[in-house]
Amino acid sequence: MNEPVRILSDLHLGHKISRISQVSALRPLIAGAGTVIFNGDTWQELAAPFRQRARQMLDELQWLCAEEAAEAIFLPGNHDPSWPGKGWIELANGRIVISHGDSLLFDGSPWKREILGNREKILEIWRQFPDAAHDPTQRHELARLIARELCSVEHPSGRHFIHRAWDAAFPPTRALHMLASWLHHGRHGAEFLKNYFPQAEVLVTGHFHQRGCWQHRRKLIINTGTFMDPGRAQWVEWQKGLLSRGNIIEGPQACALGETLDLWRIG
């Protein structure tokens, strides 16, 4: 894997409320990278209303990476679970783990309406993976199956904040699960590493649409956010033993890598 390795997530290409209206705007985020890891929810594979446009944009993204001579690696997310591979990537001899994030929680996305009322279905899926409590391969396959079996059947119809706020707040348990996942993201990430990757020091996720970083039990948890409102996106980069992160500056014609917010030496 060629360095620098750049990590992005949750582009949600093709979704009505993704802020990426043209793939060419992503070129500055890819230029100069040896490898770009797209950490899940890159495109709307499971959403029939968006799939055709999403597929076209994904093709454009792959061409763009090729033009910039950057190897593109796509990890599965709960909206695009069919990417091949084991579902995660390790860097720095296993000290850094990159995984979308839906494997952190028992039911993947507990705030989803399709999951809120389907506890028995979640338990049934867990019974199909008897070693998922300690085997990372089974745990990621379990998350993929939850994504497929309980995918969204409804999609937000409005772009405006008030529409998004109403969608997030109803039913009330949906909003509560969202808040809980944000508040406890550091703890959930540290527990995930303890259970599946005890040698790792860092976990890089997306999924939760809340950019930031947390230290918990001597583990560093980084979330790269999203390109969907109300969240904002960040970049993470690995090069020559240094891990860095920063905000992404978005524009209708071109995005840009914002200044480095944090820098860590790993290993």
- Domains of the chain, start order: 5-265 (3.60.21.10)
Q: Rounded to an integer, what distance in angstroms lies between the CA atom of residue 155 and that of residue 146? A: 18
Q: How far apart are the first and last CA of the chain?
A: 18
Structure pTM? 0.91
Per the prediction, the chain carries an average pLDDT of 92
Residue 163 has pLDDT above 60, yes or no: no
Q: Rounded to an integer, what distance in angstroms lies between the CA atom of residue 98 and that of residue 106? A: 18
- Residue 112: its pLDDT value, please? 78
Residue 177 has pLDDT above 80, yes or no: no
What is the arithmetic mean of pLDDT over 144-153?
A: 86
Residue 155 has pLDDT above 50, yes or no: no
Amino acid identity, position 163: H
Q: Rounded to an integer, what distance in angstroms lies between the CA atom of residue 77 and that of residue 18? A: 16
pLDDT tens-digit profile of 52-106? 999 999 999 999 999 999 999 999 999 999 999 999 999 999 999 999 999 999 9
225: which DSSP letter? B
Phi-psi region of 29 (alpha: psi -120 to 50; beta: other; left: phi over 0): alpha
Q: Looking up tokens 């997306």, which residue turns up?
A: 206
Would you place residue 172 in the very low, low, confident or very high pLDDT band (cuts 50, 70, 90)? low
pLDDT tens-digit profile of 194-247? 999 999 999 999 999 999 999 999 999 999 999 999 899 999 999 999 999 999
Task: Determine the Cα angle at 115 with ends 112 and 118, to 5°.
Answer: 160
With contact defined as beta carbons under 8 Å apart, do 207 and 78 qualify? Answer: yes
Gyration radius of the chain's alpha carbons: 17
